[in-house]
Structure 1
Amino acid sequence: MNTKITSFLLVLVSSFTLLAFSSGNPQQKEKPQEKNKEKTTPAKDSKEAKETKEIKDNKDKTKSATTPKTDTVAVKEIPVVKETDTLQIDPNSKLKVYKKNAHASYYHHKFNGRRTASGKRFDNNKYTAAHKKLPFGTLVKVTNEANGKSVIVEITDRGPFSKVRDIDLTKRAFMDIASNKNSGVVIVKIEVVEAPK
């Protein structure tokens, strides 16, 4: 019985030994391959990284060359406001003083797009005004008495509905003559433009 067990154990050990020598140690075989991978991979990766970076740089260069910058496009599209954007009158026209030391204010932006008393749509970027008595379509020169700046506006609406104020200008017209852009009222001289005969 002991001999059978012994011979069985010997056969078993010898078969394991043969198996180990024929196939080799799997851990030992994988390590050299891993070492080779470690040696080649960084160099390969750095080469691929350089190529990828070069391709990306070339794309960026061509993109910047063909696509205009949005800043430039936006600046070109913004209309430039000039001094001549105010209403123009005939040089032969006469000015008749309507009122001095008048109080001028400006419309709130909430009125933008609403119909005025004359039927025209209100636009805070145009040169129009509201007056209690002057007929619609009358051209009026409004001069800031403190700094001498003036604008020509057309009466298109009724108002202002305050005893203290005499004329309501569009915000654009008001800002053109105001010394202090934060103020809401300016003391002005109102002159009616009379067409030449």
Structure 2
Amino acid sequence: MKGQIVHSPAGEEVVLDDVGQTVLLDNPVVRVWDVSLEAGETHPWHLHHNPYVVLSLAGSKARMDWLDGSEPRFLNEYRGGSVYRPLSPVHRLTNIGGRFYQNRLVELKDLGENLPSPVDVGPGDRSVEGERPGPELADGRLPVIDHPHVKVWTVAVDEGRKLDLADLPHVVAALDPGAHGGVSFHPGGPLTLTGPGEWFVLELTYTASSN
């Protein structure tokens, strides 16, 4: 949370930033942020209070540094990829590649801040470029992540495409968002997308247990 004060192992006072730069959508279920980094740019120290899903719009090599001094983690996210992440210690993210980096970071409130204590989601999940966790669906969706808590697909649309979505909440995010962010919340059931374009479709599968 922006403005929260923590201390490094050496006792240095650190003021935390938000987990993203701009809120694109915020409702009782999810909060969706834009995270954009030019080559060499760093998103400052921050702390996640919710498990979250990263939807990658523009990939680059990146380094995650930890305030506690643990060994950094190196990433190479790619356009159309996704990551499902648990809560983690205070960290910052630096774009160490030569390309623009951008994602949609989707906080899952019902697994975090809406509870007395966050759900332990284990290690989460991560897509692998060139590999898919299942076959293409009849409505054209291509699987990216298939986890008991969340499912992520991409879908390309030329003119119009009707998606046969489950009766569960979804987040839909354009891979080429334009000026308005390109993010919407869908309560479930059939959805028609109008192209041309490509979208992420994120199913909040964990909500089935509360229905």
TM over 0.5: no
Shorter-chain TM-score category? under 0.3
Greater fraction helix:
1
TM-score using structure 2 length: 0.19
Question: Comparing both chains, which one has the higher relative contact order based on Cα–Cα distances under 8 Å and sequence gaps of 6 or more?
Answer: 1
